[in-house]
Chains A and B, each alone.
Chain A
Amino acid sequence: MDELTALTEVLERTEDAGERVDVVCKIAALRAPGSAKVLVQAFARETDLMVRETIVASLLICDTEEVVEEVAPLLKSEDASLRSMAFEVLAYKGDEKCMSIFEALLQEADRDVRVMAVHALGRGTCPGALSLLRKAAAVDQDINVVGAAIEYISEIGEPGDAELVEKCRERFSHPYLDFIVQRALARLRGEFDKIAS
């Protein structure tokens, strides 16, 4: 029996939350292929908040591609805890190797998945995030997706993005988008006194 299998068995059997925290840390420290899958499965059945937080923190040190592959589908979960975990982990773990996964998430039929993908991209450190956010703002048909994309374009974009942001306002007629666009334009133009906090 390899070490990951042995630790997984302990994690599944022990009723002691403190021991589960220890085992989660050991699994993450192994950095073995399959660790992320074990941790995600453990999160899904875990009810203790401390253990859940430890699992999220541990996923952040596992292999990026494996983690992203495991957690990205969870954005579609009916379980809000799983969605929130996936969202948080993706925001920290996304890198250029995960661009195709984010691109696929932005094509999902479920607009909530697209909204969460935009938030994860906007908050993360993925080098290609800005181009995907621009694309989402330009083509997505949902006002919440476009609004979220504009929010982050205004934070990490350039003054030249003002034109794209203006065009978004023309595609939707809603006070929410008017507000978001005004705020984004002020930020992109460096007019910080006009930005409502």
Chain B
Amino acid sequence: MARVLIVDDSSAVRAYHASILLGQGHQVDLADNGYEGLEKFCAVDYDLVLVDINMPRMHGYDLVREIRKNERGKKVGIVVVSTEAGSNDRFQAYKAGADLYLVKPVRPEELERVCVMFSRAKGGSNHDGGA
């Protein structure tokens, strides 16, 4: 089981991703903007963070950069999930520190594969922190 933070300004997308991950037995926390996402990230030990790009105030690239500056952020899996499908967007996401780039809409099996991959990569974390 992975602990996942979903940062997306669309409530429907947050709910869609959360319903998939909860249905697969993962723990999920939600944030609707970059600032809230960063605050939650600093409080909890996550296996994976799903980050949207186009959000008001703090966009996804800045959030990824801020997470990577954090000591805990050096190990966490960061997956950018965006409608932006251009190569420049991928380049910017990887340059900011993302591990993977997925184009919306994501299929449930794709999200599950990513969760398994990053929870294994982290060596199975214990999730004592609370959101």
Contact = CB atoms under 8 A, between A and B. Distances in A.
A197 B14 CA distance: 8
A180 B54 contact: no
B47 interface: no
Contacts of B19: 179, 196
B97 to A, nearest CB: 14
Contacts of A151: 10-12
A197 B18 CA distance: 9
B115 interface: no
A40 to B, nearest CB: 16
B12 A111 contact: no
**Most-contacted residue by chain A among B9, B53, B105, B106 (CB, 10 A):** B105
**Most-contacted residue by chain A among B12, B18, B59, B88 (CB, 10 A):** B12
Q: How large is the interface on B (under 10, 10 to 19, 20 to 34, 35 or more residues)?
A: 20 to 34
Chain A interface mostly: helix
B57 interface: yes
Interface stretch (A23-31, A79-87, A98-106, A126-134): A79-87
B56 A84 contact: yes
B84 A112 contact: yes
Contacts of A183: 12, 15
B77 interface: no
Nearest to A154: B12
Nearest to A180: B12
Contacts of A81: 59, 62
A144 B83 contact: yes
B112 to A, nearest CB: 12
B12 A144 contact: no
Chain B interface mostly: loop
A144 B56 contact: no
Interface in B1-21: 9-13, 15-16, 18-19
A180 B92 contact: no
Given A78-B88, A179-B16, A88 B57 contact: yes
**Most-contacted residue by chain B among A91, A174, A183, A196 (CB, 10 A):** A196
Interface string A163-192: 000000000001111011001000000000
A80 B61 contact: yes
Nearest to B30: A197
B108 interface: yes
B82 to A, nearest CB: 8
Contacts of B62: 80-81
Given A151-B10, A176-B106, A196-B19, 17 more contacts: A81-B62, A84-B54, A84-B57, A84-B58, A88-B56, A112-B83, A112-B84, A119-B54, A144-B104, A147-B13, A174-B107, A175-B107, A176-B16, A176-B105, A179-B16, A180-B12, A196-B15
9 contacts: A80-B59, A81-B59, A83-B54, A87-B56, A112-B54, A143-B105, A147-B13, A148-B10, A175-B105
Interface of A: 53, 78, 80-81, 83-84, 87-88, 91, 111-112, 115-116, 119, 143-144, 147-148, 150-151, 174-177, 179-180, 183, 196-197
